[in-house]
Structure 1
């Protein structure tokens, strides 16, 4: 007698898996359209000549060579990385203790203070940059009899970056610290750790992943900004965002794509270095 295999009925887990897959289809389409295709086009333009004509397309490194052999372009890249790195570090020095203090307050107080601190995220960046410019113009008129004396300096540009991007550093760190299990602090105290040791050995190691997120959210837009250099740089400083904008306006898409790729590699290096320090990635208690 031949025993035919019985047809297996779909289990609840399989139904749930199929249900989640279908719900995720719009997300997958957005990833393909807004992420994968633009990255593919950027790689195509950066490593080829005449990418608009598939018949005469040719692989080349000329776009990268042109960037690295031009001292002005290379100095703009280094200046962008320098100013963005300083701005991100200042944002971190301000946001980290502020996030820790906020996470230890009452829930109502947290909501009010976070709303006040992040309120400038709902204001147009052009208005914010122009407001900072007006402050530097008033200071220049008062102390130097020249409204444009401070515009274009490191102080003006870094101040503008910190003012615009500080909330992007604060929010991920605060969100992470607010979810830390309060029993961790009591356990550290029971084991004989003082407040300084608790912060350095418990809080900081477990919050490095949020620091990485905040760093990326500040460093990347700061290094490619056009608003800050236009209003606070006063035309005296050319950063990497200005080079990319100039390349696309002049029709040199391959050159602009090559610049963007170089900047992306630099950012990935920073991400890798910070990741190496994160021994507690994804460790969160009190998530339920």
Structure 2
């Protein structure tokens, strides 16, 4: 694929690997690939890229069938560090390119200017190291800055915390207005939303799990999801969310659950959230 071809949009459903290490992540990714997952999300800071690469290699699934995302850590934003750090990630992942590379968090204290790291990321794409580029944990002001740096058409996604208790509508609406896809992370809010009575009622009506309902809700809104699990039954169940369709009334019931409950807000990294 030449760099001038517009790659297809990012897949709606994938496998997350946050907090999974060592043999646990190898098993999760191998089981996921066996069950039919083809999109895998990792990051430099997760400390598991080599294990993800090993699991992929051992799975025997062809690289061309996979969509792999990684994220550049804040220590590697400087122009002279970003591309070398991505090359290191590629070596660990045992591939010559990833499908999507994200800036993981805004630069702490704006130590590296937006134009510098977005420019370096665009350069990584020009070199063929990544097919697409994007951002993560960006508020509206930061998205505007990133757009000013490289153009909205270059930014494939903004990956943000988004679940029924934190629906992040302002960010999602702004991204949509710019043609930037939203990827929801922590879609199940660390399992907090799985016992919600409203979601339980919808799940019962569909003969589905509450996790399937929540994942289907996010995908129906047009967001990509990347749930993780270490249990085969959950990995399998989550996959089936792709077949579930919720009614407008059910979507409205879930919309009403928003309470601005943010679970990920690391001091020194988080922007001023919208």
Category of TM-score, reference length = shorter chain: under 0.3
TM-score (norm 1): 0.22
The structure with more strand, counted as a fraction of residues: 2
* Structure whose CA Rg is larger: 1
TM-score (norm 2): 0.23
The structure with more helix, counted as a fraction of residues: 1
Greater relative contact order structure (CA < 8 Å, 6+ sep): 1
